[in-house]
């Protein structure tokens, strides 16, 4: 993304100004702004909308249509923004830890390794993992890294991989090898279509807030603030659509319904 107008549109989408210099502070501000404005959501799966990993399609969905997405879309688009601002970005594959500490398949998640013009980092940037770090993490840091989202510890894994843990719980293992966005397409398709993919089980739309997180799952609106959790059942389609608009800026003409909820 080298077009000035396109960069300006993306920055406007996340409520950010173009930084005078893309240093670590600017990266952190963009990382936080993205998570506060662009929701983590899987609504396309339940609306019958095809998900494309073409970079132009990602920008059209997130910037022009003002939607969100899941990891491949959110981190895929964020990488384009950072590159347009002068960063060197590697798209890396990750295996997500599931139940009983088992690792999922490679390409289960897409994360970003960012090198900045100021020479800091490399940084692990991730705006597409749901409830994760508010700010980028130092990829080579092995001491605990405190973040508003929790205490993160990165440790060396086998074959040069890096394990990421949050508050003592393993999150995912990333490999250092750089990948093309197209490499994630088969797993992205599986996530959209397989009954074994948790993304097909229910709808989710979630974003970071100044004091916690707000999420809409099915017809339940969930607010977390200061460790407290409150749930509100939304009884009608109109109430659900209004919640998407009000809390996430997502305008829909019908309520997405997971197949298992029908």
Catalytic (active site) residue 109:
yes
Map the chain to HEC letters.
Answer: CCCHHHHHHHHHHCCCCCCCCCCHHHHHHHHHHHHHHCCEECHHHHHCCCCCCCHHHHHHHHHHCCCCECHHHHHHHHHHHHHHCCCEEEEEEEEEECHHHCECCCCCEEEEEEECCCCCCCEEECCCCCCCCCCCEECCCCCCEEECCEEEEEEECHHHCEEEEECCEEEEEECCCCECHHHHHHHHHHHHHCCCCHHHCCCCEEEEECCEEEEEECCEEEEEECCEEEEEECCCHHHHHHHHHHHHCCCCCCCCCCHHHC
Q: Which of 71, 163, 188, 247 is catalytic?
A: 71
What is the distance of C-alpha 143 from the center of its chain?
24
258 φ, ψ (degrees, to nearest 5):
-65, 145
Q: Any catalytic annotation for residue 57?
A: no
First to last CA, the chain: 41
* 188 assigned to active site: no
Which of these is catalytic: 31, 46, 126, 163? 126
Catalytic residue among 31, 34, 46, 109: 109
Q: Among all residues, which ones are annotated catalytic?
A: 71, 109, 126
């Amino acid at each position: 993304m080298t077009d000035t107008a396109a960069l300006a549109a993306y920055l406007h989408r996340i409520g950010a100004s173009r930084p005078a210099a893309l240093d670590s502070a600017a990266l952190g501000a963009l990382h936080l702004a993205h998570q506060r404005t662009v929701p983590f959501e899987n609504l396309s799966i339940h609306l019958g909308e095809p998900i494309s990993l073409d970079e132009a399609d990602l920008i059209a969905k997130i910037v022009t249509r003002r939607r969100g997405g899941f990891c491949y879309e959110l981190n895929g688009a964020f990488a384009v923004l950072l590159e347009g601002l002068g960063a060197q970005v590697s798209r890396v594959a990750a295996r997500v830890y599931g139940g009983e500490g088992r690792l999922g398949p490679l390409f289960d998640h897409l994360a970003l390794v960012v090198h900045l013009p100021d020479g800091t980092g490399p940084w692990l940037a991730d705006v597409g993992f749901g409830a994760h770090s508010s700010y980028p993490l130092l990829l080579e840091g092995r001491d605990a890294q405190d973040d508003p989202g929790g205490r993160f510890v990165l440790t060396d894994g086998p074959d040069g991989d890096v394990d990421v843990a949050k508050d003592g719980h393993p999150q995912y293992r990333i490999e250092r090898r750089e990948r093309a966005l197209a490499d994630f397409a088969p797993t992205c398709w599986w996530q959209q279509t397989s009954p074994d993919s948790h993304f097909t089980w229910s709808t989710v739309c979630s974003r970071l807030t100044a004091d916690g997180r707000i999420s809409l799952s099915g017809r339940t609106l969930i607010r977390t603030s200061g460790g407290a959790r409150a749930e509100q059942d939304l009884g009608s389609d109109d109430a659900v659509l209004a919640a998407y608009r009000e809390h996430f800026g997502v305008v829909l003409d019908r309520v997405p319904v997971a197949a298992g909820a029908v």
